[in-house]
Chain A
Amino acid sequence: MIKFVVKRLLSMVVILLMLTAIVFLLQKLSHINPAHAYLGANASQAAVNRETHILGYDRPFIAQYFHYVSGLLRGNLEVSLRTRHPVSTDIVAFLPATVELAVSGLFLAMVLGAVFGLISAARFRGAGAFRMLLMSFASAPVFLLSLLGILVLSGNLHWLPGTGDTSYTNAPTGPTGIIVIDGLVHGQFAVAWDGVWHLILPALVVALGPAVSIGRVLRGSLEASMLSDFARTARAKGLKERTVVLHHALRNSVSAALSMTGLQVGLMFAGVVVVETIFAWPGIGLYVDQSIPQADFPAIAGVTLVLGVGYVIINAIVDILQAVVDPRVALV
């Protein structure tokens, strides 16, 4: 087990190197001369050449890559062409809101996925209609769900707020940057509650698609587990059907659902970017959406790296969880 974890973490390092290599290559492809960008549009050719040399962009390719990676390790994500701040500073400012949205979205997706999976594995009246409803959720683009959510729940019914992560202009800032937690830390429960209220709609919209995918996989493997030989053995022991599901079938099905969760995180991140745009949620998704029209590649690259690292970490955790749940996974 420990060996498996160590191995998994080592492979994570390789994957992250691959990620940096891809982003580095894209930067080379992006036709943006960082020296030019750094100096502004009016700089003379001589100044640009000098700057290019100072920044090391005339060195061999590999050397530039090492330079780039060592810069990354020191937290250097270059300077945004749009905001003129270091990208790292911008990301530190915008990341907490995204973490709040993504983590609660992921949590919600897992909970809803488990519920969907368990409900649709059971046979009941209207199961077909329920599946159709889930299929519809999974087929709706994130922006349609967001639009309808804002129109109906926020615009018409006024149940939920439709923009931003807080209604307080003087909300506490720090220590985490996550409104709900900061509100609690500062003892301002109204702020925290308001934060939760703002979170519900965007988190739900982000979570629905992945939740249905997770639920479908869970249902499929639950059904297979319920027909398996070991479930038959459990029934032959005279165990209650509930025990067979919860103690025997579920544990054998969780692994597949976890795999799907890991895969869905990638799609969810893309969804987060869209949702932050629609809800004016002050996260890195909104940041990157504003960077795209300006062709602010350093900003886009920085966000890509951050989301990529998040994805890789979440998937490593998923794999380790799988090994905990199913002892055979660690053998591979």
Chain B
Amino acid sequence: MDDAPRAAEASAPAARGTERLFDAASPGASKSPLVVVDDLHVSFERGGQQVNALRGVSFELQPGEILGLVGESGSGKSVLALTLLGLLPERPRPVITGSALVSGTDMVTANREQARLVRKQHLGAVFQDPMTSLNPTMRIGKQVIEAAGSTQEAVRLLDAVGLPDPASRLRSYPHELSGGLRQRVMIAMAVADSPALVIADEPTTALDVTVQAQILELLGTLRDELGTSFILVTHDLGVAAQVADRIAVLYGGRLAEVGPSADLFGAPLHPYATGLLRSRLVLRTDRSRPIVTLPGEPPDPRNHPPGCPFSPRCEHHSGECDVALPPLETVTATGEIAPSPAGSAMHQVACVRLGRFSTGHAAAIDERAEPWGPVASASRGRNPAVLVHGVHKRFTIGTGLRKKHLLALRGVDLSLNEGEAIALVGESGCGKSTLLRSIAGLQMVDEGEIEFGKGGRPQMVFQDAGASLTPWLTVGEQIGERLRSEGLRRQPRDARVLEALTLVGLPAEVAKARPAQLSGGQRQRVALARATVVPPEVLLCDEPTSALDVSLAATVLNLIGRLRRELGVAILFVTHDLAAARMVGDRIAVMYLGRIVEIGDADELCSAPIHPYTKALLDTVPEVGRVHVRLKGEPANPIDPPNGCAFHPRCPSAEPTCATSPVSLDPVEGASGRRVACPIALRLRTPITGDLNTAGVMSARDDSGRR
């Protein structure tokens, strides 16, 4: 947290000087815990079935501490957050036992008014979607004043959370602000009146990666300034590790492991935490073989096994796991169970078999996974499967005098070879999805050409697999739809559908199911089965994993990798996550505001980024112990992109000429196939150094196996 105050200075006007933004409460002065949760159970009835969301959770939180609460869907993390706030929905009526003391009040037994007073005096909350969480019909100012008490205080808070020009923003409505600014407004309301605890439920999930980094840093700064405790609820262990002092991992409504961030993120002990960390992608992950994944799916809170909830997915499980719920026990640094708890720095694990298997994190390389085979040989060639040349696309927004043009693509050239995989990376508004949809033929381009090789129409899998399936048609009918044009009769068609399902690892019964009966991971597999039942030459993937839980996302990435190699299809993979891009793509193309700013070999680009924007994106991939350089601002509006290099307003190394002279995607000397749209970076290019060089070394070795 050494660099924390920097952001505050950057966001506050220079005139402020050394004045403290808040009356600092001294963290750690009081030793009594702020939050004491003891054996908390929450269940409710949904659709006639009992949902056991929390099943005996106990933990404490010290004043000034940041706790990262990590879990996948169905883990109960949001229910826990809402219980602490006393805001669980009243219908279906929850059944709560145990206690959850917040600043001395038990939020379980408190009546409405008591709970409200606790929220007013001691609590703040930040929710996931800043668009829906702010009242759309009320001006920002009024909403902040409701929490802050006065206009003056509201302006001070908005200033402190880094909202530019707060006094004039008071009259804005939420829809007039960008996502990142809205989330800053939410945070300003949450920290109004200096609460003892702020509960942030997935505060960065809906935001762009560079903005996410800014918001996380802001949380850390506010803790340092205010002494406020934070509970950061997230599905991403990496996000938690960036700011949290301690991390608690929830699984199946139980705490699986609790411990200091560095311990948990560096050397987790519980098999689930280990598995979660392994399936998280970092820039060091071995590309030459499939990602090590957790088998199975996240637990169904309607139907928990009697023993350890993780047992059905655990590689170390044995009979004793299924006898009873494993208690959360304190372990020492050597991995032994300690007799007594030892303060907030203690490390607790709920696993009865702990010590009877090796818990080493084993880095990211797991030798048990077989390396990928070569890409199906016949299709791998030098001929382009898709050739994109000078493509422009603009959308018209509004009518009449208010008519504006959103420039989604501003001259894109790209060539995808047969059997090749390219990952397109960028933030919202960069045009990556527009490019993909243009190639799919789902929309016309305004200028330029898109040519295909010998193959026919490309196929596509979508971000939201559930929404990409027609709800009332069976899976079999939807997969079989592509076979209708081949004039196949019913029986051979059914056989082909079955084949496609088997290829993606789904049982035959799925053919008769409707999408709503499937889990999220199964739906994405069905989407892949439909796309590959007649293998296309090109498969377009539009963030197919971003809506999935971490462990499922890794499984789907592996499946895409396998389909690619077995069927020899070329892949164009759109993502906002460079680590995922590196796993899938042979090459990576980084896009910013409708243009490709850098393209090159995946490993080279990740280990030695040249464009300042690529560098900034790489920096958003969380790694413990790395000093992160935050990019300022948010992606500019594609309705009115800046002149010259569109990135120059945010660029740390911008020069005056960047704002005026147009940039072109120029080849890089000494690196074949590498192109960068930044003359300054090319001029200043120095040999690769720095903390990312491990990735470079590793990739050099990977390449031998791959080509």
- Taking Cβ atoms with an 8 Å cutoff, the residues of A that contact B are 3, 227-230, 232-241, 247-248, 251-252, 325-328, 331
CB-defined contacts of B125 to chain A, threshold 8 Å = 232-233, 236
| B133 contacts chain A at the CB level, 8 A cutoff | yes
Can you name 25 A-B pairs with beta carbons within 8 Å?
Answer: A227-B89, A229-B129, A230-B133, A230-B134, A230-B136, A232-B87, A233-B125, A233-B127, A233-B135, A235-B116, A235-B119, A236-B124, A237-B120, A237-B147, A237-B189, A238-B118, A238-B119, A238-B123, A240-B116, A241-B112, A248-B135, A251-B135, A252-B136, A327-B173, A328-B137
CB of B233 to closest CB in A, whole Å: 14
Number of B residues whose C-beta is below 8 Å from A? 32
Most buried by B among A233, A236, A239, A248: A236
Query: In the assembly, what is the distance between CA of A328 and CA of B175, in Å?
Result: 8
CB-defined contacts of B147 to chain A, threshold 8 Å = 237
CB-defined contacts of A241 to chain B, threshold 8 Å = 112, 116
Complex contact A228–B132 (CB within 8 A): yes
10 interchain residue pairs of minimum CB distance: A238-B120, A236-B125, A238-B119, A229-B132, A230-B135, A229-B133, A237-B147, A233-B133, A251-B137, A326-B137
Complex contact A328–B136 (CB within 8 A): yes
Query: In the assembly, what is the distance between CA of A238 and CA of B173, in Å?
Result: 22
CB of A88 to closest CB in B, whole Å: 37
CB of B90 to closest CB in A, whole Å: 9
Residues A233 and B117 in contact in the complex (CB < 8 Å), given A326-B137, A327-B173, A328-B136: no
CB of B45 to closest CB in A, whole Å: 17
B601-652 contacts to A (CB < 8 Å): none
| B488 contacts chain A at the CB level, 8 A cutoff | no
Query: In the assembly, what is the distance between CA of A239 and CA of B135, in Å?
Result: 14
CB of A218 to closest CB in B, whole Å: 15
Nearest opposing residue in chain A for B120, CB measure: A238
CB-defined contacts of A331 to chain B, threshold 8 Å = 175
Most buried by A among B116, B124, B137: B137
| B186 contacts chain A at the CB level, 8 A cutoff | yes
Q: Mark B163-191, 1 if CB is under 8 A from A, else 0.
A: 00000000001010000000000100110
Query: In the assembly, what is the distance between CA of A183 and CA of B46, in Å?
Result: 62
CB-defined contacts of A237 to chain B, threshold 8 Å = 119-120, 146-147, 189, 192
Query: In the assembly, what is the distance between CA of A160 and CA of B121, in Å?
Result: 55
Complex contact A232–B401 (CB within 8 A): no
Residues A233 and B186 in contact in the complex (CB < 8 Å), given A251-B137, A252-B137, A327-B137: yes
Q: Mark B187-200, 1 if CB is under 8 A from A, else 0.
A: 00110100000000
Nearest opposing residue in chain A for B401, CB measure: A3
| B85 contacts chain A at the CB level, 8 A cutoff | yes
Residues A239 and B146 in contact in the complex (CB < 8 Å), given A3-B401, A233-B125, A233-B189: yes
Complex contact B135–A234 (CB within 8 A): yes
Complex contact A238–B117 (CB within 8 A): yes
CB-defined contacts of B173 to chain A, threshold 8 Å = 327-328
Describe A's contact surface by its main secondary structure: helix
Q: Mark B99-139, 1 if CB is under 8 A from A, else 0.
A: 00000000000001000111111011101010011111110
CB-defined contacts of B189 to chain A, threshold 8 Å = 233, 237
CB-defined contacts of B121 to chain A, threshold 8 Å = 238
Complex contact A234–B89 (CB within 8 A): no
CB of A28 to closest CB in B, whole Å: 36
Query: In the assembly, what is the distance between CA of A228 and CA of B135, in Å?
Result: 9
Query: In the assembly, what is the distance between CA of A331 and CA of B137, in Å?
Result: 13
Query: In the assembly, what is the distance between CA of A326 and CA of B135, in Å?
Result: 10
Describe B's contact surface by its main secondary structure: helix
Query: In the assembly, what is the distance between CA of A3 and CA of B401, in Å?
Result: 10
CB-defined contacts of B89 to chain A, threshold 8 Å = 227
Query: In the assembly, what is the distance between CA of A240 and CA of B652, in Å?
Result: 46
Most buried by B among A235, A251, A326: A235
Nearest opposing residue in chain A for B134, CB measure: A230
Give how many A-B residue pairs fall within 8 Å (CB-CB).
78
Complex contact A248–B138 (CB within 8 A): yes
Nearest opposing residue in chain A for B198, CB measure: A236
Most buried by B among A232, A235, A238, A241: A238
CB-defined contacts of B127 to chain A, threshold 8 Å = 229, 232-233, 236
Query: In the assembly, what is the distance between CA of A167 and CA of B138, in Å?
Result: 50
Nearest opposing residue in chain A for B195, CB measure: A238
Query: In the assembly, what is the distance between CA of A287 and CA of B189, in Å?
Result: 60
CB-defined contacts of A228 to chain B, threshold 8 Å = 132
CB-defined contacts of A230 to chain B, threshold 8 Å = 132-136
Complex contact A236–B137 (CB within 8 A): no
Query: In the assembly, what is the distance between CA of A239 and CA of B146, in Å?
Result: 8
CB-defined contacts of B123 to chain A, threshold 8 Å = 236, 238
Query: In the assembly, what is the distance between CA of A240 and CA of B138, in Å?
Result: 17
Complex contact B146–A251 (CB within 8 A): no
CB-defined contacts of B138 to chain A, threshold 8 Å = 247-248, 251
Query: In the assembly, what is the distance between CA of A331 and CA of B402, in Å?
Result: 10
CB of A52 to closest CB in B, whole Å: 45
Nearest opposing residue in chain A for B119, CB measure: A238
Cβ contact of B116, chosen from A238, A247, A326, cutoff 8 A: A238
CB of B125 to closest CB in A, whole Å: 4
Q: A239-B116, A241-B112 are in contact. List 14 more A-B contacts (CB 8 A).
A: A233-B127, A233-B134, A234-B135, A234-B146, A236-B124, A236-B125, A236-B127, A237-B147, A238-B116, A238-B121, A251-B138, A252-B135, A326-B137, A327-B137
Query: In the assembly, what is the distance between CA of A229 and CA of B143, in Å?
Result: 14
CB-defined contacts of A328 to chain B, threshold 8 Å = 136-137, 173, 175
CB-defined contacts of A227 to chain B, threshold 8 Å = 89
CB-defined contacts of A232 to chain B, threshold 8 Å = 87, 125, 127, 133
CB of A193 to closest CB in B, whole Å: 41
Nearest opposing residue in chain B for A331, CB measure: B175
Most buried by B among A233, A239, A248, A327: A233
Query: In the assembly, what is the distance between CA of A52 and CA of B102, in Å?
Result: 89
Query: In the assembly, what is the distance between CA of A4 and CA of B528, in Å?
Result: 46
Complex contact B146–A235 (CB within 8 A): no
Query: In the assembly, what is the distance between CA of A236 and CA of B112, in Å?
Result: 12
Query: In the assembly, what is the distance between CA of A240 and CA of B186, in Å?
Result: 19
Query: In the assembly, what is the distance between CA of A327 and CA of B189, in Å?
Result: 22
CB of B113 to closest CB in A, whole Å: 9
Query: In the assembly, what is the distance between CA of A3 and CA of B129, in Å?
Result: 31
CB-defined contacts of A229 to chain B, threshold 8 Å = 127, 129, 132-133
Query: In the assembly, what is the distance between CA of A233 and CA of B186, in Å?
Result: 9
Query: In the assembly, what is the distance between CA of A277 and CA of B219, in Å?
Result: 69
Query: In the assembly, what is the distance between CA of A326 and CA of B138, in Å?
Result: 8
Nearest opposing residue in chain A for B199, CB measure: A236
CB of A258 to closest CB in B, whole Å: 13
CB-defined contacts of A3 to chain B, threshold 8 Å = 401-402
CB-defined contacts of B129 to chain A, threshold 8 Å = 229
CB of B688 to closest CB in A, whole Å: 45
Q: Mark B276-291, 1 if CB is under 8 A from A, else 0.
A: 0000000000000000
Query: In the assembly, what is the distance between CA of A3 and CA of B120, in Å?
Result: 41
Complex contact B136–A326 (CB within 8 A): yes
Query: In the assembly, what is the distance between CA of A309 and CA of B402, in Å?
Result: 30
CB-defined contacts of A327 to chain B, threshold 8 Å = 136-137, 173, 175
CB-defined contacts of B132 to chain A, threshold 8 Å = 228-230
CB-defined contacts of B146 to chain A, threshold 8 Å = 234, 237, 239, 247
Nearest opposing residue in chain B for A227, CB measure: B89
Query: In the assembly, what is the distance between CA of A326 and CA of B139, in Å?
Result: 11
Query: In the assembly, what is the distance between CA of A37 and CA of B520, in Å?
Result: 73
Nearest opposing residue in chain B for A254, CB measure: B137
CB of B117 to closest CB in A, whole Å: 7
CB-defined contacts of A247 to chain B, threshold 8 Å = 138, 146
Query: In the assembly, what is the distance between CA of A232 and CA of B87, in Å?
Result: 7
Query: In the assembly, what is the distance between CA of A239 and CA of B189, in Å?
Result: 12
CB-defined contacts of A251 to chain B, threshold 8 Å = 135, 137-138
Query: In the assembly, what is the distance between CA of A123 and CA of B186, in Å?
Result: 30
